[in-house]
Amino acid sequence: MDIVNESRSWMKPLELFEDKEKNVKMCAPMVRYSKLAFRMLVRKYGCDLAFTPMIISESFVRSVKARDSEFTTCKDDRPLVVQFAASNAQDLADAAEIIAPYADGVDLNCGCPQRWAMQEGYGACLIKKPELVKDMVTQTRSRVTQSDFSVSVKIRLRENERETVELCQRAEKAGASWITVHGRTPSQRTQPVNIEAIKLIKENVNIPVVANGDIKSLEDSHMIRERTGVDGVMAARGMLENPAMFAGYETTPVNCIKDWIELSLSVGTPFQCFHNHLIYMMEKALPRSERRIFNSLCSTTAVLDYMNHNYNISI
């Protein structure tokens, strides 16, 4: 667990919500992608709060090797929320206690729809276990006592909207700092996000609500706030394609690509991650023939040579 704990100033997650006129902008926890360099990149372009990829709390607590491989941070990686997948309250509370000195909050994943996760008792299966979710939040909150340390929950919708609201209300009573709502059920993939369900949740809880799903531009973030009254928005794929979207760019600007290269190399990002992010960022800029060439590059040197030759980006 590569960590640097130095004293510096940043706005804590709960402070971000204090300005009721602010639409808090978040980068979602994305497996393989929400690593240190990408978190640092999106903060340069209007993102207020970044999440780690989902980490399995059980292995994180029990294995130093897992901690070293799953969590890397530095003094500039703030504000930061670490997302955990947990199937019981003790694992989540233990993981939160370990991570508390190096992050600003933890988030409980109750939304991952992947079959393996649900079979292990993680992710979206938890939305049907509101008492367990309540216990997990309660125990985590009691274990980490810093008042500015957030304990949030990210959910998908239940088929019954009232049951979704009740889940959120129980999480609120347990001490959840905010709730992020992906506006689809676990079985839905490409269906439109249920805006009305997100609005209903916002109207029935007193803690901040963050909307997630199909937010691919700054305009989208404004639209969903206007239609639902939420306190913030969270983007995933939209930020992979354009890490500068919250700064108002319609496509990834060259400066952002250059920043990615510099940041990722500075923290030792593995080649596959380094290259895959560039593939996403440049997808709309490259014609199909060029995409085939760029996507087939197999070394950092080859990528840097390509960027220097085609974009005059030299590192």
d(C-alpha 253, C-alpha 184), whole Å? 31
Question: What pLDDT is attached to residue 285?
Answer: 87
| Angle, CA 32 vertex, CA 248 and CA 65 arms, to 5° | 135
% of the chain exceeding 90 in pLDDT: 91
% of the chain exceeding 70 in pLDDT: 97
What three-state secondary structure class fits 24? strand
Q: What are the residues whose beta carbons fall under 8 Å from the beta carbon of 148, sequence distance 6 or more?
A: 12, 14, 15, 104
| Angle, CA 113 vertex, CA 53 and CA 220 arms, to 5° | 70
Is pLDDT larger for residue 108 or for residue 20? 108
Question: What pLDDT is attached to residue 1?
Answer: 55
* Tens-digit pLDDT profile for residues 202-222: 999 999 999 999 999 999 999
Q: Evaluate whether 17 touches 231 at the Cβ level (below 8 Å).
A: yes
From the list 206, 186, 182, 249, the residue with the least C-alpha distance to 26 is 182
d(C-alpha 93, C-alpha 58), whole Å? 10
Tokens of 304: 């840097």
CB atoms within 10 A of CB 307: 21
Q: Name the catalytic one among 47, 112, 125, 256.
A: 112
* Tens-digit pLDDT profile for residues 50-64: 999 999 999 999 999
Active site residue 112: yes
